[in-house]
Amino acid sequence: MSDTFLLSRRRTLLLAASLCSLPLIRAQAAPRGTLSSGDLRNPVDAAQYSVTPGTNEMTGTRLAAFLKKAAGDNRPVFLPPGTYPISRLDLPDNVRITGVPGASRLLYSGDGTMLRADGLRRVELTNLVIDGANRTLSGETSGLIQARSVGELIISNCDILGASKTALHVERSSAGIEGNRISGAAEYGLYAVEGRATTIADNEVSACGNGGILIHRWTKGHDGTVVRDNRIASTGATRGGTGPFGNAINLYRADNVRVAGNQISGSAFSAIRANAASNVQISDNHCLSSGETAIYSEFGFEGAMVSGNLVDGGANGISVVNFDSGGRLATIANNMVRNISDQGPYVHDNVGFGYGIAAEADAVISGNVVEGVARFGMLIGWGPYLRNLLVSGNMIREAQTGMAVSVVEGAGQALIANNLFDRTPNGAIIGYRWHDATSGDLVDGSTRYKHLTLSGNRRA
């Protein structure tokens, strides 16, 4: 066999092997993450246009001009590691900025505003450190990053810190806020108002002065935001009050919102607080060491599903109330509530603190486990504010009173069946007229109160 034949055969085999490997190489090189296909192809390196890390305002001026040109050319921008002092930076439409995570730093130099996006179709910020350095923002500025009327706002894998007000203020925009670390904001970590198809996921929010993630609307209506799998810790309430501030997740007038899978600890008030928010779904959250009511659905709402949550520590556990203001229609199922004290952050002028689960109107309460509660394991109605409550299949132990049910004139019907009570020294089921116990233990049933149907309950 000739040497020429052997060489040709070897070349043929090598060519065939290389062709077989091409699909695998291309599959491995496919872009991943929140960026759309092609977004990081041919990024423009800012250093090539004399935009380099520096210590003076010239860095910010050059950056603004460069961003505008790159956005106009439909090119993403790459910021090499270093610190870029900026202020009053108005982002252009279609801007896409990325950097080296933890190393490419935009530093607020303190001249009223830092980053603004107003009336744009698309903005994307990824892999950046956005540092407010705790410098003062102007009176008309709401947040370190301020976005209004942005069709598609993507902020991912960024560190946003040191905001003297709110870290991220988003208004009338559709946003994807994912995988960021937000810390040290004097007001809120994220305030989103009048949102459209927004997702807030997998963020870490910590040490914010008055709130973690807020989903609000100016007028009550459909919002549809999804808040999932975030870690929120150490939410303060420097403004004080009785609940508007100090909540890790707060919904206000925002309907059809899902809050799921969040890990929350150390909230000055509620871990999750939904005010006048209808069709809210609160599920599978961990709520640890809340200063007031851990999970709250309150005031003018219709529809709250509270299921599969774990509450450990708080002045109250789960409260779905305010029938007097139109709060009604709920499912409270398969939650675990434990270690509830009767000490809250203010003097309560109504029912007070120290109950595990409370509900008032048109609700099913089933399959819950309540343990270690200072006063009432469950609070069923309040005064005349009780209507159509089905309470079944719950286990309550180590509560001074297992269940307090309203027997005030005008209270509506309640069916209380097949619940198990253990270590409830003041009674398993007790009728209450407002603050006063007015019955013996009803655990074995009673015909005295016509609005109550009691059966199959058991006291250990």
pLDDT in tens, 310-343: 999 999 999 999 999 999 999 999 999 999 999 9
pLDDT of the residue at 55: 64
Q: List the domain boundaries for the chain.
A: 107-459
- Report d(CA 209, CA 369) in Å as an integer: 33
Question: pTM for the full model?
Answer: 0.90
| Amino acid of residue 240 | G
Greatest alpha-carbon pair distance for the chain in Å reads 110
- Report d(CA 261, CA 273) in Å as an integer: 15
Percent helix / strand / coil, the chain, rounded to 5? 10, 50, 40
CB-CB contact of 308 with 284 (8 Å): yes
Q: Which residues partner with 421 through β-bridges?
A: 396, 459
Render pLDDT for 239-250 as a digit per residue (tens, 0 to 9).
999 999 999 999
CB-CB contact of 171 with 195 (8 Å): no
pLDDT of the residue at 268: 98
Dihedral, CA of residue 429, residue 452, residue 350 and residue 373, to nearest 10: 30
Render pLDDT for 258-294 as a digit per residue (tens, 0 to 9).
999 999 999 999 999 999 999 999 999 999 999 999 9
Fold topology of 107-459: Pectate Lyase C-like (2.160.20)
Render pLDDT for 5-58 as a digit per residue (tens, 0 to 9).
344 444 444 334 443 333 333 333 333 334 433 345 578 988 888 888 886 656
Query: Is residue 438 very low, low, confident or very high in pLDDT (cuts 50, 70, 90)?
Result: very high
CB-CB contact of 85 with 112 (8 Å): no
- Would the pLDDT of 137 be above 90? yes
- Report d(CA 268, CA 253) in Å as an integer: 22
